[in-house]
């Protein structure tokens, strides 16, 4: 959406969960194609010395949104509640006159599921009821939701999954919102689109077929649109 010169830019922030930088061609991976992400990197700004402030989902997201270390805001585990009194970049952008909208996951725990966003187009995929609170007095206890090697040994193709459905809905709702924003008021906007994949379990849609059919293409070359994961789906699955 083109805006007049001198006006604040619209912002679309796209997030992927557990996507390591070194698994992308723009950071030197020689096998992964990711043509669209490669094009974004080539035509935009590529950060070469950036990192997450926590290896856990919720503390890392809370740090990103607030610009503060997890230890400063009490974000020690995936059930940590980000206090509503702590401002986020969404709050600051609203003060600057932006519309703010979230489609997809952000791992918020507790009653506040917005933290500065005016609208939320989907529910979260993670529990918001503090169900993932570990017992810090039992540091060696393993909980069912902990990550282990099952995510690796059980990885592979599948026909469909809950996480695929969630990411499709995230894309569909975000696309619908963008069209409505373009036809509606002319305030600048921030739209955050946040996906579950490539978070474990590492499942790939079977209908995309074997990656060997791309073996003769140069890394980052155009792959075209993928097929929908199911007939009549509102969002087609496309190679990144």
Question: Which has more confidence, 119 or 207?
Answer: 119
Instruction: List the one residue out of 174, 175, 186, 12 whose CA is nearest residue 97.
Output: 186
For residue 155, say if its preceding peptide bond is cis, omega within 30 degrees of 0: no
**pTM, two decimal places:** 0.81
Which runs of E-coded beta strand occur in 64-155? 99-104, 119-120
CA distances from 137 to 54, 56, 57, 75 (A): 21, 19, 22, 17
Q: What percent of the chain has pLDDT over 90?
A: 47
Q: Model confidence over 67-109: pLDDT tens digits?
A: 999 999 999 999 999 999 999 999 999 999 999 999 999 999 9
Please give the radius of gyration of the chain, using alpha carbons only, rounded to the nearest integer: 19
Q: Model confidence over 166-189: pLDDT tens digits?
A: 999 999 999 999 999 888 777 999
> Residue 237's pLDDT is what?
37
Q: Model confidence over 1-42: pLDDT tens digits?
A: 555 667 899 999 999 998 888 889 999 998 888 898 899 889
């Amino acid at each position: 959406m083109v805006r007049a010169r001198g006006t604040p830019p619209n912002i679309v922030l796209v997030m992927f969960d557990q996507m390591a930088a070194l698994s992308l061609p723009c950071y030197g991976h020689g096998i992964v194609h990711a043509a669209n992400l490669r094009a974004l990197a080539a035509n935009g700004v590529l950060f070469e010395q950036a990192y997450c402030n926590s290896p856990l989902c919720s503390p890392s997201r809370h740090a990103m949104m607030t610009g503060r270390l997890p230890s400063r805001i009490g974000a020690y585990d995936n059930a940590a509640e980000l206090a509503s009194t702590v401002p986020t970049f969404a709050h600051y952008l609203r003060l600057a006159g932006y519309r703010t909208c979230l489609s997809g996951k952000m791992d918020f725990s507790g009653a506040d599921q917005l933290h500065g966003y005016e609208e939320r187009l989907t529910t979260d995929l993670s529990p918001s009821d503090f169900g993932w609170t570990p017992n810090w007095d039992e540091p060696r206890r393993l909980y069912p939701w902990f990550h282990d090697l099952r995510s690796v040994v059980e990885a592979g193709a599948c026909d469909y999954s809950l996480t695929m459905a969630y990411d499709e809905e995230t894309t569909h709702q975000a696309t619908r919102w963008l069209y409505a924003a373009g036809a509606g008021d002319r305030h600048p906007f921030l739209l955050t689109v946040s996906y579950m994949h490539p978070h474990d379990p590492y499942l790939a849609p079977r209908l995309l077929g074997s990656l060997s059919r791309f073996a003769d293409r140069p890394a980052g070359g155009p792959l075209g649109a993928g097929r929908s994961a199911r007939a009549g789906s509102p969002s087609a699955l496309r190679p990144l």
